[in-house]
Structure 1
């Protein structure tokens, strides 16, 4: 049984998938790591890339789905590792030492959740900055589910959870990743901050493309976990925080 399952969800991802696979291969993953690709029946050359690298992929499927989070649920159910880590098309492991450092933590410092920072990159791979520095989301070194009251503290690609506590994703909610992290943290007995960067995160995903719906869905998630009144008040605070953050960044340039 592998210790870690890395899951990549794809749909018409020919532009970016190879970037993700190459970052995995640079780490020379061994038997403790399985790699799954869950494709939504792509119509471009995504599957050609999958077949090109098939010997490095533990399992892959390509079939219609109900969207990103339905595919992530499929990946989680097919995974056999003790821990699951989602690294979607275009995202990359931070460097060639990432997996060895992660496995060392999984073996020597057992926990239910591990998390760290993410380096934001653009379509060309150009670094934009660490998420904890270029967004208002500071990264606590001691994380609980209550830290999510004002949004997603940890980038989903910089968060891995023990498979036995990981719930299904909400399929029809664009902020399902926040809900998933909160539910993982509620179930976790121990969460460990890793003092190294886990990933490079490709900006411009689904929540950015459908920003208004993503914000409405985020409210639903936060209201579910923290109560409607608290969610309303916290969204006022979120707006104020964003304004202050942008002003301070402008002043410091």
Structure 2
């Protein structure tokens, strides 16, 4: 069976210190059917020079103003031709060169693949696994307990992926993954660490507005009472983890 085409999309803006590591890690993948797309928001710090350094190996790239992170992600999907979308944004990396070979090693395909996420520091050193661990079996209702799977460790087929809702500035990725899970016929746990996520960035800097947006999305999908009840569990776990580990 022919391997599915995976469109890996990197969104970047003024990330001269991290973009090269991300590009090199994607280009190191041994999977034979990858399309690599880089969407730059009009960087002015040298990021574009690094992209140009690798442009012969990048399938497509563009640079120009956009309406933010999620608008750039939508642009990347519009530029793509793959069967699957995998977002590895600047600072993030695939977990290993052969990770996609392992994901698509079976004789059949699923609508969504998910796995674990390894956190790394600014120097690329491993910190530990993400606070929230993905369940053995995942369905869209599980996201009532929060974003159990990191966006970087979520690979969705074109059939179930929608556009990012630009009315959300910080949590449109949560809504996007939820939409994909709702429309998926088969959701497959890879039982692999799929990605490395660099701590910091927009998510950490905007944790409070991001959580507010996520609450609104949860109410929309699960109802107010169910969302309030879920937060009696989510909030204490969140703060207890922060007290013990001093990280989210």
TM-score, normalisation: structure 1 = 0.91
Pick from 14, 19, 22 the counterpart of residue 20 of structure 1: 22
**Structure 1 alignment gaps of length 5 or more:** none
CA 1:49–1:2: 2 relative to 1, 3 Å: farther
CA 1:218–1:16: 2 relative to 1, 3 Å: same
SS at match of 1:69: helix
**Partner of 1:233 in structure 2?**
229
CA distance in 2, matches of 1:230, 1:38: 38
Kept in 2: contact 1:117–1:196 (CA 8 A):
yes
**Partner of 2:146 in structure 1?**
151
SS at match of 1:196: strand
Find out whether 1:176 has 2:175 as its counterpart: no
Count of residues in Structure 1 that have an aligned counterpart in Structure 2:
242
**Partner of 2:74 in structure 1?**
73
Deviation at 1:2, TM superposition (A): 6.3
CA distance in 1, matches of 2:161, 2:119: 25
Find out whether 1:100 has 2:96 as its counterpart: no
Kept in 1: contact 2:116–2:133 (CA 8 A):
no
Pick from 134, 137, 141 the counterpart of residue 136 of structure 2: 141
CA distance in 2, matches of 1:153, 1:27: 26
**Partner of 1:89 in structure 2?**
90
SS at match of 1:116: strand
CA distance in 2, matches of 1:62, 1:243: 39
Deviation at 1:206, TM superposition (A): 1.1
Greater shift, 51-60 or 206-215, is seen at: 206-215
Pick from 5, 18, 21 the counterpart of residue 3 of structure 1: 5
Matches within 5 A, 1:162-241: 162-173=157-168, 174-241=170-237
Kept in 2: contact 1:2–1:34 (CA 8 A):
no
Deviation at 1:29, TM superposition (A): 4.5
Which of the two has greater helix per residue?
Answer: 1
CA distance in 2, matches of 1:195, 1:229: 33
**Partner of 1:40 in structure 2?**
41
Give the aligned CA root-mean-square deviation in angstroms: 1.7
Pick from 155, 161, 174 the counterpart of residue 156 of structure 2: 161
**Structure 2 alignment gaps of length 5 or more:** none
Cα deviation digits, residues 187-240 of structure 1 (max 9, x gap): 000000002211111111212111221111111111111012222222232112
Cα deviation digits, residues 73-132 of structure 1 (max 9, x gap): 111111110000000001011112113223324xx231100000010001111111011x
Cα deviation digits, residues 142-191 of structure 1 (max 9, x gap): 10000000210000000000012101112132111111111000000000
CA distance in 2, matches of 1:246, 1:48: 38
